[in-house]
Amino acid sequence: MPSRFVMLMFLCGGLMSPLLASADADGAMLYARNCAACHGENGNGGIGVPLALPSFQASISDDYLRQTIRLGRPGRVMPAFTRMSDAQVEALVHYVRAWDKGAAATYTRQPIKGDRAHGKRLFAQHCAACHGAEGGGGEGTGVTFSRPRDLPIMAPALHNPGFLAAAPDAMIKATLMNGRQGTPMSSFLDQGLKEEDLNDIVSYVRSFATQPLSASAQLLRVENPVIVRDSPYDFKTTVENVKRAVSSNNFFYGRVQPLEYGLTEAGRENQKQIIVYFCNLGLLNQALAVDPRVGMFLPCRVTIVEHEGKVQVMSVNPKVLSRLFNNSELNRLCERMSESYSAIMDEATL
């Protein structure tokens, strides 16, 4: 019996080391494919948290990483990886953890009791400047991401269902106690607060879970991803109407070309599918400052189509971007763009 047990252990050990090596390799692949664009190739940060930062690694548990991968941060760019298998999540956690030689922190899920009202006052005094008055997080889309940013790290949203599910009270308290070296987050004990004060702040932060969803965690809902208007005019008149409406709504139009432009030789394109491209560079610059990725839906465009004798004007509903980019800071801009698109299309088909 003991020899069988030894054999089994030997077998497991022999098999597990190459298996773990595979997990590492695949963690690297998964990281490169899904995380490196935001968190940097080596976890040095970018739009996302610098995962390799020793003070970050020292303060988070493996479970915090797991939950964060699974749930993301609604409205705060970090997406939820709902399609990832458990094995893939584990491989990623293992890979990210390998940047730090220290043991992973573990935290109890036991709630911390404190004076919530006092915690609220302390939060306003010590936390709100970076994390927002209601804990909605710092403004901006991160550190660099093609454009200069003010802070070395974006202050995370604490009033966010993803954060609240991932971070137990004990982890929040530990972060308050120790701060995060290399970021603007300093130890609250060093700032003169007492342990009881920290309990009060934790208690207040935890109370976000029972409050209405923070504006920074809200994304726009879209019933129809495409805005469509029927035109009472013929195709050629509608195209001219769109161009005129673009100009009268403070945009300038650039190219006016068939959808099939460049896909086939000139002259063979379907001339009943015309795209009017337009732009407002001030608005474009503003949009890219909020989220540099929005370029994929630029320049603005309205399509005029004649299909089965019916002329229609259509465009992507800019509100879809809010959810697609998981960035609530785009909400206002998307709503404004949606209004502009609708105004142009209404004017062209009036």
Show contacts with other proteins in window 86-145 (CB under 8 A): 87-88, 91, 144-145
The site that binds other proteins (CB under 8 A) totals a number of residues, namely 69
- Judged by CB under 8 A, which of 32, 117, 343, 350 binds other proteins? 32
Is residue 337 a contact point for other proteins (CB under 8 A)? no
In the complex, the smallest distance separating the C-beta of residue 119 from other proteins, rounded to whole angstroms, is: 33
Grouping H, G, I as helix, E, B as strand and the rest as coil, residue 306 is strand
Is residue 184 a contact point for other proteins (CB under 8 A)? no
Grouping H, G, I as helix, E, B as strand and the rest as coil, residue 316 is strand
Look up tokens 């929040």; give the residue: 172
Is residue 75 a contact point for other proteins (CB under 8 A)? no
CB atoms within 10 A of CB 22: 11
Closer to other proteins at the Cβ: 175 or 280? 280
Show contacts with other proteins in window 248-277 (CB under 8 A): 259-264, 270, 273, 275
Residue type, position 284, single letter: L
Closer to other proteins at the Cβ: 159 or 301? 301
Helices 116-126, 195-207: inter-axial angle, 10-degree rounding:
100
Closer to other proteins at the Cβ: 177 or 314? 314
In the complex, the smallest distance separating the C-beta of residue 165 from other proteins, rounded to whole angstroms, is: 17
In the complex, the smallest distance separating the C-beta of residue 312 from other proteins, rounded to whole angstroms, is: 7
- Judged by CB under 8 A, which of 8, 133, 209, 228 binds other proteins? 228
Is residue 13 a contact point for other proteins (CB under 8 A)? no
Give the length of the chain.
350
283 contacts 246 by C-beta, under 8 angstroms: no
Closer to other proteins at the Cβ: 14 or 184? 14
- Judged by CB under 8 A, which of 220, 316, 333, 344 binds other proteins? 316
* 75 backbone dihedrals φ, ψ, rounded to 5°: 80, -5
User: Looking at 110-118, 130-138, 236-244, 289-297, which segment touches other proteins (CB under 8 A)?
Assistant: 289-297
According to DSSP, the β-strands at 310-316 and 252-258 are: unpaired
Grouping H, G, I as helix, E, B as strand and the rest as coil, residue 262 is coil
Segment (H or E) for 219: none
Is residue 319 a contact point for other proteins (CB under 8 A)? no
- Judged by CB under 8 A, which of 28, 29, 165, 256 binds other proteins? 29
User: Looking at 31-39, 186-194, 201-209, 331-339, which segment touches other proteins (CB under 8 A)?
Assistant: 31-39
Angle (CA) 114 120 125, round 5°: 120
In the complex, the smallest distance separating the C-beta of residue 163 from other proteins, rounded to whole angstroms, is: 17
Is residue 81 a contact point for other proteins (CB under 8 A)? yes
Look up tokens 């785009």; give the residue: 330
- Judged by CB under 8 A, which of 9, 15, 117, 129 binds other proteins? 15
Closer to other proteins at the Cβ: 82 or 210? 82
Q: Which residues pair with 275 in a beta bridge?
A: 257, 303
Q: Distance between CA 222 and CA 200 in Å, rounded?
A: 39
Is residue 147 a contact point for other proteins (CB under 8 A)? yes
Q: What is the 3-state secondary structure (H, E, C) of 30-73?
A: HHHHHCHHHHCCCCCCCCCCCCCCHHHHHHCEHHHHHHHHHHCC
Contacts made by residues 119-124, CB under 8 angstroms, sequence distance 24+: 119/199, 119/200, 119/201, 119/202, 119/203, 119/204, 119/205, 120/204, 122/193, 122/197, 122/200, 122/201, 122/204, 123/201, 123/204, 123/205
- Site of interaction with other proteins (CB under 8 A): 14-15, 18-19, 22-23, 26, 29-30, 32-34, 36-38, 40-41, 46, 72, 79-85, 87-88, 91, 144-147, 225-226, 228, 259-264, 270, 273, 275, 279, 281-282, 284-285, 288, 292-293, 295-296, 298-299, 301, 303, 305, 307, 312, 314-316, 323-326
